[in-house]
Structure 1
Amino acid sequence: MAITTITITTMSSTSSSSSSSCSSDSMMEDNIQCAEKIILKWKIDSHSHSTFVSIFHKNNTIEATLFLNSVSNLQRAMHFLSSNDKKSTNISIAQRSMQIAMKRLEKEFHQILLDYNHNRQHFISISNLRLIAETMISCGYAKECISVYKITRKSTIDEALSHLGILQYKHSHIKKMITAPDLQNHVKIWLNAFQIAIKTVFHEEKFLCDHVFSSYPTIRNLCFTNSTKEGALNLFTFPDLIVAICKRLKSDTLFVKVDLYNSISDQRPEIDSLFSHESISSVKLQAESCLQKLGDSVRTSAVLRRSELLASHLIHC
């Protein structure tokens, strides 16, 4: 079923203008009815327990194109009617159809995002996500689009970090680690997780945001911030607490702190690049703070160790 593209022309004479108005109204009604028919076909039934079938499934390419074209034409019809015939009964019909369409696209967006990490055809997924995002945003549903992205991707990022061994670090946990004999094992887990988090987890998330929201820089930065900021800040809580608690306990963890410092320092360019935007710059600032604290602590520990070695040497002499 073809969707007619809406065109609006202005006639110079009164009779021509009247004829054009009737023709335009008729065209609007036809387009709304045509769009409604296609949109209702994919209406989400909240009471249905049937398996979800995506419009963007590889075998539904034509259906996906028809659906998006219908939404686009419906949006143009709504804009025309709101400017030329606000009392038209077709406005309420169009608004209802638009709400149904957006509900469907929210579900599609959520599902594709959920499947993204398990789908090897990332190019196709990103292309579909971008189409959905641009359609929702252009139709005035940016808030809903951002909300779905945040909820879906933040949980994915948090789960990925958890699988790497990153915990919700607290003072009491780190204190137990420092006084335990297996501190080195905990540090090794963090060092490995940190490398993967920066190079893979956050890097891939940045790539996804940049491509899905390529036409909307503000939304792109907001979505990346929403999905990664909390996890990234928590990541740097580990070395931060190590320094603070070691200082208080006067624990000898010189080599642990050296390893932490070197790891963060090595990833500094990537950290600065990933978290450069103002909305998420707090992550970059925390990384800088960690390096400063670790560096100061390493120098202090090294001086103390040299003093102890010198004192020991003098005693034996």
Structure 2
Amino acid sequence: MEPPESTAAEKIILQWDSTASEDARERMIFTGDRQEIDRYLDAVDELQKAMSSATLSDSSSTTSSALQIAMARLEDEFRNILLSHTCPVEADWLTESTQLEFASQEFELKEEIAESSSDKQFEHQESNSSSTSSCYKTTSSIREVDLIPSDAVYDLRCIAERMIAAGYLRECIQVYASVRKSAVDASLKKLNVEKLSIGDIQRLEWETLETKIRRWIRAAKICVRVLFASERRLCEEIFEGLGNSADDACFMETIKSPAIQLFNFAEAISISRRSPEKLFKILDLHDALSDLLPDIESVFESKSSESIRVQAVEILSRLAEAARGILSEFENAVLREPSKVAVPGGRFIP
């Protein structure tokens, strides 16, 4: 029995089979004209409709094979679109776009500090460390930016819809996360967020750490309020509503490692050996993270990103405890040291 003749849709798919055609290997569908793109997508839709309506006994092997070829092609197109429109976000541009917002936030924070003592602030943070986000002030400081042009986002969503409908969710997420994570890593590098383990950080001299703390505070604001927030929005634009919380899965695949890298620095400081000279920088770090916490709660609001929220809250609590511990140790040291009064002649009388 002769194999059934290929349908028009199958012929379109096979025309772009990169394993069988040199021309198909050298050209990308989504860099061509819109008519060609839509023709290919319509062919994929027709194949998927044929596969879903056919029974196991009457389904055509050529249709199934053509659909697999189409998915491989769409995966390549998906990757190419992402790579073509992916570059690290410029740190200077990010700073410029957010500096007014940050200045306003810092002014509000200074007012809050002036109105209440440090002890009261620490007690408030500790008592709320395990509470939900409703315990924190609402945030309007998040500044999302367009990481990829809207026409490219549209094409990416068109591809994602068809890949996920055909059962290629995992492949789609893997391609997306691998490309976007590289872009996030490059942005973190531009912001001087280094890949250091907690042990590496704790072995640094304190003078070096002081400089790194200043840089970290600036970088953390940009990462949470701009970079991570924008990645969240991009995932939603491409994957929201496509089933199985694909947008959350892509976001966490992309962001989890960079977020852990970012917060590991603050965690290392929070559990480092206590000494009086560290007090003011620990307070700076505590205040900055406290100010960022509502934004962290907002950006990482899903169940799958709960670990990031928990890590931030725990670090904040440990920073508060570290500051209290330094103050307590200093007070005890003063009490243990007998006061001495200088008298004429240079002698000291206890």
Normalising by the residue count of structure 2, what TM-score does the alignment of the two structures yield? 0.72
Match of 1:69, SS state, is helix
User: By how many angstroms is 1:94 displaced?
Assistant: 0.6
Deviation at 1:305, TM superposition (A): 3.9
RMSD: 2.7
Q: 1:42 aligns with which of 1, 6, 16?
A: 16
Structure 1 residue 174: Cα displacement:
1.4
Map 1:14-163 → 2, pairs under 5 A = 33-45=7-19, 52-57=26-31, 59-82=32-55, 86-87=57-58, 91-118=60-87, 122-163=149-190
Three-state SS of the structure 1 residue aligned to 2:273 is: helix
* Amino acid in the other structure paired with 1:241: A
Q: Which moved more, 1:63-72 or 1:137-146?
A: 137-146
Q: 1:120 to 1:235 in 2, by over 3 A?
A: closer
1:21 — aligned with what? none
Once the two structures are TM-superposed, the CA of residue 120 in structure 1 deviates from its matched residue by: 7.6
- Of 203, 207, 231, 1:181 maps to 207
1:257 and 1:180 map into 2 onto residues whose CA distance is 12
1:224-259 deviation line (CA, Å, top 9, x unaligned): 111111221221111111122223xx4630111111
Structure 1 residue 180: Cα displacement? 4.4
Residue range with higher mean Cα deviation, 230-239 or 42-51: 42-51
Query: In the alignment, is residue 229 of structure 1 matched against residue 256 of structure 2?
Result: yes
Q: Give me the whole-angstrom Cα distance separating, in 1, the residues matched to 2:191 and 2:20.
A: 36
One-letter amino acid of the structure 2 residue matched with residue 222 of structure 1: A
Cα distance, 1:172 vs structure 2: 3.4
Pair 1:204 & 2:177 matched: no
Query: Cα–Cα, structure 1 residues 53 and 269, in superposed 2: closer, same or farther, change >3 Å?
Result: farther
Conservation of the 8 A alpha-carbon contact between 1:246 and 1:253? no
Kept in 2: contact 1:158–1:231 (CA 8 A): yes
Pair 1:308–1:115, CA change in 2 (3 A): farther
- Of stretches 186-195 and 276-285 in structure 1, the one that deviates more from structure 2 is 186-195
Whether 1:283 and 2:272 are equivalent positions in the alignment is no
Report 1:266-281 matches (<5 A): 266-281=291-306
C-alpha deviation, 1:87, in angstroms: 4.0
Cα distance in 1 for residues equivalent to 2:65 and 2:25: 25
Per the alignment, residue 215 of structure 1 pairs with: 241
Work out the number of aligned pairs and report it. 280
Corresponding residue for residue 192 of structure 1: 218
Q: CA deviation at 1:74?
A: 0.9
1:252 maps to which residue? Answer: 277
TM-aligned CA deviation for residue 115 of structure 1: 2.6
Q: CA deviation at 1:308?
A: 5.3
8 Å CA contact 1:43, 1:100 repeated in 2: yes
How far the C-alpha of 1:82 sits from its partner, in A, is 2.2
| Structure-1-length-normalised TM-score | 0.79
Q: Which has the higher helix share?
A: 1
Aligned equivalents of 1:102, 1:67: Cα separation in 2 = 12
Structure 1: unaligned runs, 5 residues or longer: 1-28
**Secondary structure at 1:267 match in 2:** helix
Q: In structure 1, what is the Cα distance between the partners aligned to 2:78 and 2:254?
A: 15
Residues 291, 117 of structure 1: alpha-carbon distance in 2 compared, 3 angstrom cutoff = same
Q: Which residue of 2 aligns with 1:11?
A: none
Q: Tell me the secondary structure at the aligned position of residue 340 of structure 2.
A: helix
Deviation at 1:150, TM superposition (A): 2.2
Deviation, structure 1 residue 139: 1.8
Matches of 2:27 and 2:341 in 1, distance apart? Answer: 80
Shift of 1:38: 1.3
Residue 49 of structure 1 and its aligned partner are, at CA, apart by 9.9
Q: For residues 16-71 of structure 1, give each alpha carbon's deviation from its aligned partner in whole angstroms, at most 9, with x where no partner exists.
A: xxxxxxxxxxxxx78x52012211222224995998543222x4100110000000
Q: Which amino acid aligns with 1:40?
A: L
Residues 147, 230 of structure 2: 8 Å contact kept: no
| One-letter amino acid matched to 1:160 | S
Answer whether contact 1:166 1:235 (CA < 8 A) is retained: yes
Structure 1, residues 165-187: CA drift from partner, whole Å, max 9, x if none?
Answer: 2223224321232x343322111
- Is contact 2:235-2:250 (8 Å) kept? yes
Answer yes or no: is the 8 Å Cα contact 2:17–2:24 preserved in 1.
no
CA shift in 2, pair 1:196/1:121, >3 Å: closer
**Preserved CA contact (<8 Å) 2:18 2:25:** no
| 1:247-287 Cα shifts (integer Å, max 9, x gaps) | 3xx46301111111111111111100111211111000000
Instruction: Indicate the structure whose relative CO is greater, using CA pairs within 8 Å and at least 6 residues apart.
Output: 2
Q: Secondary structure at the match of 1:126?
A: helix
